[in-house]
Structure 1
Amino acid sequence: MSLRRLNVAVIGGGIGGLCLAQGLRRAGVPVTVYERDRTADSRLQGFRLNIDPAGSLALHACLPPALWELLVATAGDPGPGISFLDERMRPLVRIGRNDREPDPLDPTTGRHAVSRVTLRRLLLAGLDDVVRFGKECTGFTPTDDGTVTATFADGTTATADVLVAADGAGSRVWAQLHPAAGRATLPATAVAGKLFLTEDTRRWLPQRLLAGMNVFWPPRDFLFTAIFHRREAPASIAARLGDRVRELGLDPDRLLADAHDDDYVLWAFIAHRDSLPADFTPKAQADPAAVRELLARRTAGWHPDLRRLLADSTPDTLYQTEFSAAVPLRPWQTGNVTGLGDAVHHMPPVGGLGGNTALRDAHRLCAALTAADRGDMPLRQALHAYEAEMLRHGFRTVREVVRNTGAAIARSPVRRSASRWFFRACGAVPPLGRAVFGEH
């Protein structure tokens, strides 16, 4: 006698929800994704995303092998580790320097600078019959037979054995499941932008900014830079992997359509909100000229190349945001509604940990649901184990990101000087650096 297959409904088609859907589809578990965006092309914008080994493991496990290789090929090498420097570009310490060249296809060590546009297109690949667009979820209702019914703004409903909230920080599903779940506003303001790599910009950009990721620790504020430079040209990728992609019933030219993005240097400037001038109002924050003027004032005395990086960036790439973080939740009684990623443990975009944590959640939830679908473990037991680990790891990461954000925007001159001295000490005494930061 065959077991009835588990039916999973995922609310939200971000990277976590789509990674979960790819993994369940690969495992043969019936799944449907309900996404409020009207079309698949609604989110074709954004900055690079740094994928760490946890994210690599998730994508490698959930994507078909050909799509995993396509993702690695279209991504860039983020560089060996992270350099900490002062505002004059003088080195403080380098974290994660490793003489061994990692294999980018090895998910246990692979790190990738991926285009969010390309990542989304690859995560949607082959899911035409799985993803339902234009479906804004307004809530859910448990049913008498143990299933759960989601309701949508267009008046339709969908019933499943398991409902997964993967719809981001403002998740209605998660808010209904946990009304006490809250978010704390952090006193940080960030501005990010892109400087596209051209023959002219490559001539004056210092090699430091072209080689990988950098953290600048001035007497006040904070700056992060990273390079996005694809490993392989689209034509070369299509020639090498095209037949394998076509075997999946997919068009490699369509999947690589957005892999012609211009390469660029990404930067993110973060400051304590209370230290900003009174005239930097929300209206000014939407004005590229006002943002440039603020940055010019805040970076007086910095290295000229850093100031030029900010000043010469393309105006329509400037992006301003405030920071917030989810408040930790106590464990709950597991049911058949669960969540992943920002819906549960929203965190600031510092260090790229939010996206990787969502991918990690998707990987682990996929394993739990697959085990339940195969009858290897009761559904509630599988979900309980997933939720316990998701809460532990997710909110530990939130605490780490909040702590790092606090250090980046600290206004105490003594605290900032102490941090710079400590970084220099770690750089000057390698055993101390390894003891503090480990091998990343």
Structure 2
Amino acid sequence: MPGLPLHVIIIGAGTGGLCLAQGLKRAGVGVAVYERDRTRRDGLQGYRVGIDADGKRALRANLSPELYRTFLTTCAQRPLYGNQMTHEKKFLFSAGPEVLKPEDQPSEDDADESVSRMTLRQVLLTGVEDIVHFDKHFTHYEQHDDGRVTAFFSDGGSATGDLLVGAEGANSPVRRQYLPHAKLVDTGLIGITGKTPLTDETRALLPKEVTEGVTMVHGPKGFMCILHVMRFKWDEDGKPKQGIGSTDAEALRAWPGMLYDNSRDYIMWGLAASEQWLPKDVTRMRGARIQQLVQEKTASWHPDFRRIFSLGDPNSSFPLVIRTSEPINPWTPSNVTLIGDAIHTMTPGRGVGANTALRDARLLTRKLVAAHAGELPLLDAVGQYETTMTSYAWDAVITSRAQMDGHSVMHKGDLIGTLARTGMRTAMRTMNHLPPVKRKIVLAESSFRGAGREDED
């Protein structure tokens, strides 16, 4: 039996919100997105997002086959190695394709991808430009007796629909109004992110396993630094590189999103440390001052790492307080719901934040399409989504926080902290010489990131 036409209001044109919009529009469900950025060029530019099997599964389901192919074409070189190193540039652990048996190798659908956040945004905006409204600052919503909901904006405008979806990130105003008891807590860690152009000089500073993988560097006092090398299929002018293949070249030439994407080959680095080891005003630092602080705090690090930091674009460096959600008890479903960081902010400790948002978008799309078709009532669709979403999201939040806790013994400056870090390094070196253990670690990580996962209900 056909259902009543639905109209969905999405607040936030981030990864989850746009993936949801893509899926709903493809299915014929009415949808509009309202984004606070002034234009599609605004927002974080040039930072890496790792897309795992869960993320690819969601994109494959919600995007058209042609747009999904564009997504794959716009991904950077696929990471092949997972590395752990010391700040002295010595390997503790490194696992590449040779660790796995032929039957263990991930399928194309399950293999991890690397994509620039801005590039992914441009892909997800492709084909939905007509339903995305920029420069719209959400202020509050009102729920009506007839079951509808209205979103209000700072310019005096409003939008009314059957369902309001908060998809505007960790500082979600929708969440603050809807679930005021859902708080974010500090992990005690501060991150400093930067981007260094990938040139012949900077490429030569890193070994092959690092330029072709994802690397965590471990320093004194629990300092950590993640390194990702991003190499794209286009050059400095945004034109297809020679040798990438005619199919990819044609896809890039035909993709209108390239006009709005400034991503070029780069090394992304993210330094993290307990707040006790950083100045009180670190979150107010920008540009050259924050880069100077990085140099000061990595004085004992290998010169090659410090050179990469020093060559970073000052305008790309900024600090951030690493926060996380805390799981909350179930709530009664209504015509307001949340996806992505708006409900389950997590640390970057396991690299699944964006993928969980994509997983949310796919699941919510399926439930809303069923409601639109009259297969179940709207509130039942929302309730089923929220029950399943929280079942996997809270687990990801807890697991991610365990990897990044500024109050843990790893961040202490005393003898106990030194012994803990020494023990960790010894364990990594030992595992690095045990191929069966390395294989087990790689397979476990692949499973955590969604490889072979069954569909949610």
CA distance in structure 1 between the aligned counterparts of 2:81 and 2:245, rounded to whole angstroms: 30
2:318 aligned partner: 319
Unaligned ranges ≥5, structure 2:
447-457
Asked if 1 retains the 8 angstrom alpha-carbon contact of 2:83 and 2:210, the reply is no
- Pairing of 1:37-436 with structure 2 (within 5 A): 37-43=37-43, 45-95=45-95, 97=97, 98=100, 106-107=108-109, 109-220=110-221, 221-231=223-233, 234-235=239-240, 240=247, 252=254, 254-258=256-260, 261-277=263-279, 281-283=282-284, 285-288=285-288, 290-406=289-405, 410-411=411-412, 412-435=417-440
1:386 positional shift: 1.1
> Could you give the per-residue CA deviations for residues 178-234 of structure 1, whole angstroms, max 9, x where no partner exists?
111111012111112122122333344433331211111223211110110014664
CA distance in structure 2 between the aligned counterparts of 1:184 and 1:322, rounded to whole angstroms: 10
CA distance in structure 2 between the aligned counterparts of 1:260 and 1:37, rounded to whole angstroms: 17
1:79 positional shift: 1.6
Fraction of identical pairs, as percent: 34
> Could you give the per-residue CA deviations for residues 334-369 of structure 1, whole angstroms, max 9, x where no partner exists?
112111001101123344321111111111111111
CA distance in structure 1 between the aligned counterparts of 2:141 and 2:245, rounded to whole angstroms: 43
Cα 1:208–1:435 shift into 2, 3 Å: closer
| TM-score (structure 2 length as normaliser) | 0.86
> Could you give the per-residue CA deviations for residues 108-165 of structure 1, whole angstroms, max 9, x where no partner exists?
x132111222211111111122112222221211212111122222222222111111
1:292 positional shift: 3.5
1:19 aligned partner: 19
Q: Secondary structure at the match of 2:404?
A: helix
1:248 aligned partner: none
CA distance in structure 1 between the aligned counterparts of 2:119 and 2:107, rounded to whole angstroms: 17
Cα 1:351–1:230 shift into 2, 3 Å: farther
1:238 positional shift: 11
Cα 1:231–1:212 shift into 2, 3 Å: farther
Asked if 1 retains the 8 angstrom alpha-carbon contact of 2:287 and 2:314, the reply is no
Cα 1:259–1:179 shift into 2, 3 Å: closer
CA distance in structure 1 between the aligned counterparts of 2:25 and 2:419, rounded to whole angstroms: 54
Cα 1:420–1:334 shift into 2, 3 Å: same
Asked if 2 retains the 8 angstrom alpha-carbon contact of 1:222 and 1:408, the reply is no
> Could you give the per-residue CA deviations for residues 217-263 of structure 1, whole angstroms, max 9, x where no partner exists?
22321111011001466437896368889xxxxx9353223566321
CA distance in structure 2 between the aligned counterparts of 1:238 and 1:418, rounded to whole angstroms: 47
1:33 aligned partner: 33
Question: Over the residues paired in the alignment, what is the CA RMSD in angstroms?
Answer: 2.8
Cα 1:432–1:104 shift into 2, 3 Å: closer
1:397 positional shift: 1.2
Asked if 1 retains the 8 angstrom alpha-carbon contact of 2:22 and 2:62, the reply is yes
Cα 1:131–1:287 shift into 2, 3 Å: closer
Asked if 2 retains the 8 angstrom alpha-carbon contact of 1:148 and 1:163, the reply is yes
Asked if 2 retains the 8 angstrom alpha-carbon contact of 1:194 and 1:266, the reply is yes
Unaligned ranges ≥5, structure 1:
246-250
Asked if 1 retains the 8 angstrom alpha-carbon contact of 2:16 and 2:340, the reply is yes
| TM-score (structure 1 length as normaliser) | 0.89
CA distance in structure 2 between the aligned counterparts of 1:168 and 1:337, rounded to whole angstroms: 15
CA distance in structure 2 between the aligned counterparts of 1:44 and 1:275, rounded to whole angstroms: 27
CA distance in structure 2 between the aligned counterparts of 1:409 and 1:381, rounded to whole angstroms: 45
1:50 positional shift: 1.2
Which letter does structure 2 place at the counterpart of 1:268?
G
Which letter does structure 1 place at the counterpart of 2:298?
T
CA distance in structure 1 between the aligned counterparts of 2:42 and 2:245, rounded to whole angstroms: 25
Which letter does structure 1 place at the counterpart of 2:19?
C
Cα 1:2–1:258 shift into 2, 3 Å: closer
Cα 1:168–1:44 shift into 2, 3 Å: closer
